[in-house]
C-alpha cells in the first residue's frame, strides 16, 4: 500500500529518489561493473543515474546523452557540488544528442543504462522512437556487454490506476509500455534477459502535490518540448475530470519500478 509523501519528501523526491538510483547502480556490480568500465547513460536527463555509477567505479568513463534543456540543468545541479563529490564529475561527459541516432561507434560501451528515461523518448519520438532507441542502445554496446533499463509499471491500486489514466489523458504522451514490450524489443536485437528486479517507492502524492505536479506538466512540457510538437490538455480540464478521485485516493508516484538487465 502506497503512503502519502510529506511535503518535505515531495520537494526532494526527484533528486533523492529514496536512494533507488544508487541501489540500481550497485546492481551492476553483479554483472561486471568495475573501475575502468565505459558506461553510456541514455537518455540521461539531469545525469543523476550516471553520477551514481561514477561514484562506484571511481575510474572509467560515463557518457551521458540528453536534450539541450537537460544539459543546462545538469550543469546547474552539479556545479554546486564541492570536494570529493565533485571529483566524480571528471568521469562524466554530457552530449546533447538524440537517443534514436546516437553519435557513437558500434560496440563502444561495456554498459548501456537508463533510469526512467524512455517515457521522455515516447513523449518526443513516440513508440517508433522508443523502438529505434533500444536498437541504438544495443548497437553501441560491446558484444557480451550489459544493458539495463528501468521503467515504471504501476499496479492496480486506486492511486496507481489514477496515475495510469491521467498519463493517458494528459496528452503529452510521456508513458511506459508493458514489460513484454521491452522484452520483445530487446530480444529482437539479440539481447538475452539475465535479470528482472522490482523496486517499490511505496509513495503517492497528496492532492496538493499532484495538483502542482500536473499543472507543471500541462503548462511547461509543451513549452520545454516545443520543437517536438508536444501538447497537453488544459490543466483545468484535467483537474475537473480527476480531481475528486485524487482528493480521495492520492496519485501514485513511480511506485512500481521494473529493472530489466540483458546481455548482448
- The residues with which 115 forms a beta bridge, in sequence order, are 150
**What pLDDT score was predicted for residue 81?**
80
**What pLDDT score was predicted for residue 73?**
85
Q: Is 253 exposed, middle or buried (0-12, 13-18, 19+ CB in 10 A)?
A: buried
**What pLDDT score was predicted for residue 82?**
80
Q: How far apart are CA 256 and CA 208, in angstroms?
A: 22
**What pLDDT score was predicted for residue 186?**
98
**DSSP code at position 104:** S
For 99-121, write each residue's pLDDT tens digit. 999 999 999 999 999 999 999 99
**What pLDDT score was predicted for residue 83?**
81
**What pLDDT score was predicted for residue 253?**
98
Q: How far apart are CA 218 and CA 233, in angstroms?
A: 7
Phi, psi (degrees; rounded to nearest 5) at 59: -135, 145
- CATH for 17-164+173-204+254-263, options being 3.90.76.10, 3.40.50.360, 3.40.50.150, 3.30.1490.190: 3.40.50.150
**What pLDDT score was predicted for residue 24?**
98
Q: How far apart are CA 199 and CA 194, in angstroms?
A: 17
Q: How far apart are CA 77 and CA 55, in angstroms?
A: 16
CA neighbours closer than 13 Å in the CB half-sphere of residue 210: 27
**What pLDDT score was predicted for residue 33?**
98
**What pLDDT score was predicted for residue 225?**
94
The packing angle between helices 235-249 and 158-170, to 10°, is 170
Q: How far apart are CA 168 and CA 242, in angstroms?
A: 12
Q: How far apart are CA 255 and CA 42, in angstroms?
A: 22
| Every domain of the chain and the residues it spans | 17-164+173-204+254-263
Q: How far apart are CA 211 and CA 225, in angstroms?
A: 21
Q: If you count them, how many residues does the chain have?
A: 264
- Residue ranges, the chain, pLDDT below 70: none
Amino acid at each position: 500500500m502506497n503512503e502519502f509523501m510529506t511535503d518535505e519528501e515531495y520537494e526532494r523526491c526527484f533528486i533523492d529518489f529514496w536512494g533507488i538510483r544508487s541501489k540500481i547502480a550497485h546492481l551492476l556490480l553483479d554483472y561486471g561493473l568495475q573501475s575502468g568500465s565505459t558506461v553510456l547513460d541514455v537518455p540521461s536527463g539531469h545525469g543523476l543515474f550516471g553520477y551514481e555509477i561514477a561514484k562506484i567505479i571511481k575510474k572509467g568513463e560515463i557518457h551521458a546523452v540528453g536534450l539541450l534543456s537537460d544539459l543546462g540543468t545538469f550543469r546547474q545541479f552539479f556545479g554546486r557540488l564541492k570536494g570529493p563529490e565533485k571529483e566524480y564529475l571528471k568521469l562524466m561527459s554530457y552530449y546533447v544528442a538524440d537517443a534514436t541516432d546516437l553519435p557513437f561507434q558500434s560496440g563502444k560501451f561495456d554498459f548501456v543504462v537508463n533510469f526512467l528515461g524512455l517515457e521522455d523518448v515516447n513523449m518526443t519520438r513516440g513508440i517508433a522512437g522508443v523502438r529505434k532507441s533500444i536498437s541504438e542502445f544495443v548497437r553501441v554496446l560491446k558484444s557480451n556487454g550489459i544493458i539495463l533499463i528501468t521503467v515504471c509499471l504501476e499496479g492496480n491500486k486506486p492511486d496507481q490506476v489514477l496515475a495510469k489514466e491521467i498519463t493517458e489523458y494528459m496528452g503529452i504522451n510521456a508513458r511506459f509500455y508493458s514489460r513484454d514490450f521491452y522484452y520483445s524489443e530487446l530480444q529482437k536485437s539479440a539481447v538475452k534477459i539475465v535479470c528482472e528486479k522490482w523496486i517499490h517507492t511505496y509513495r503517492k502524492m497528496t492532492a496538493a502535490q499532484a495538483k502542482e505536479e500536473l499543472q507543471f506538466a500541462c503548462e511547461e512540457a509543451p513549452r520545454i518540448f516545443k520543437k517536438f510538437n508536444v501538447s497537453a490538455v488544459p490543466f483545468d480540464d484535467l483537474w475537473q475530470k480527476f480531481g475528486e478521485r485524487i482528493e480521495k485516493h492520492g496519485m501514485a508516484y513511480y511506485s512500481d519500478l521494473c529493472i530489466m538487465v540483458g546481455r548482448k
